[in-house]
Amino acid sequence: MEETRPLDRSVAQVDAALPIALVTLMEDRAQIERRGTVELGCGTTWVIVRDVAPAASDKSLAVRLGSPDGVRVADARLRRITRVLERDRPASTAQLDREIEELGHREAELAQRQSSLESRRALLEKVGDSTLADLAQDAAWGRAATDDLSGRLRELDRQIAELCERSLTLAAQREDLQLALRDLVRLRASQETPACRRTAQLEIQLISSAAGPVEITVLYVVPGACWRPHHSARLRAGRVFFETEGCVWQNTGEDWADVELVFSTQRESLGHEPPKPGSRPSRPPASAASPVRRGRSCRGSTMRARSRTSAPGSAPRFRRTEGRTGFPSAGSRARPARS
């Protein structure tokens, strides 16, 4: 995975609380949906969302804006970091982290300056090539080279040589910084303890033409979560009642407290097959009872609550509830509360 560069300190940063609002559980993964409102200023702003699952899929990350007029998303990425509680962090480790961050910013600044010098040198070389082409054309027509033209060539050569020397100096400084940074990172890794916690944060770059609030929705997929149906049959007053509930396991590193859950039998790992040209989707007769409410894909179904049948031999009916159900955090097994 490509290394994520540090954030530019000159750009405004806002820590946003985008709580998890909806979790769509599949057989081997879950899609997380975070929602919230952020106050933006005019211009470019980095929105930081902390305590995100470190195993989240980068390619599944998507950002939507509730009021896109005048606001657009310039960049969105995940950054994995190692966190230690401040009371458990050794003083030497904290100092190393500060030195690593400072060296990283200095190296990035030198890289930007070197790139600027290389661009100027390339431009001067183009000017020199154009001057030599004019000189060759004048010689072909029997015109003598003027002292002014020769002076311009000597000045261009002097400026190009100066830029090359400055660029080589910056390259040597960058190499020294990279070696020092590599040593510090190796020393920091040797001081890792089991108390360190791996986490991630979302970094969203927004560009706004005017200050004001904007509603942000973030979607991403995480592994380490699944659900399975739990079936039960009960005999009450001579009638058999069948119930199906969803049992949830998750070890994503995020806390799913007071979120809406959607259970799906879709299997994204199997892919999707488009319909054949000229074919029409078949629909069951109006009188036929369907055990599940089908979605767009023919590979699975979704439900938001348990199913129940009230008489023997009848098709199960899935009830849809709009209530919210809270689940404990990592490594838990839970069932939705009965409505």
Dump pLDDT digits (tens) for 12-46: 889 998 999 999 998 889 999 999 999 988 889 99
Q: Are residues 82 and 98 in the same domain?
A: no
The pairs formed by 211-215 with CB atoms below 8 angstroms and a separation of 24 or more are: 211/39, 211/40, 211/41, 211/42, 212/39, 212/40, 213/37, 213/38, 213/39, 213/40, 214/37, 214/38, 214/40, 214/65, 214/66, 214/67, 214/71, 215/35, 215/36, 215/37, 215/65, 215/66, 215/67
Question: What confidence category does residue 152 fall into, taking pLDDT thresholds of 50, 70 and 90?
Answer: confident
Q: Are residues 46 and 98 in the same domain?
A: no
Q: Are residues 47 and 181 in the same domain?
A: no
Would 3 be classed as within a structural domain?
no
Q: Are residues 97 and 181 in the same domain?
A: yes
Q: Are residues 201 and 84 in the same domain?
A: yes
Q: Are residues 290 and 257 in the same domain?
A: yes
Range of the domain at 262: 225-334
> Looking at the whole model, is its pTM more than 0.75?
no
CA-to-CA separations, 312 to 232, 236, 242, in angstroms, rounded: 14, 12, 9
Please report the pLDDT score of residue 315 as a whole number. Answer: 32
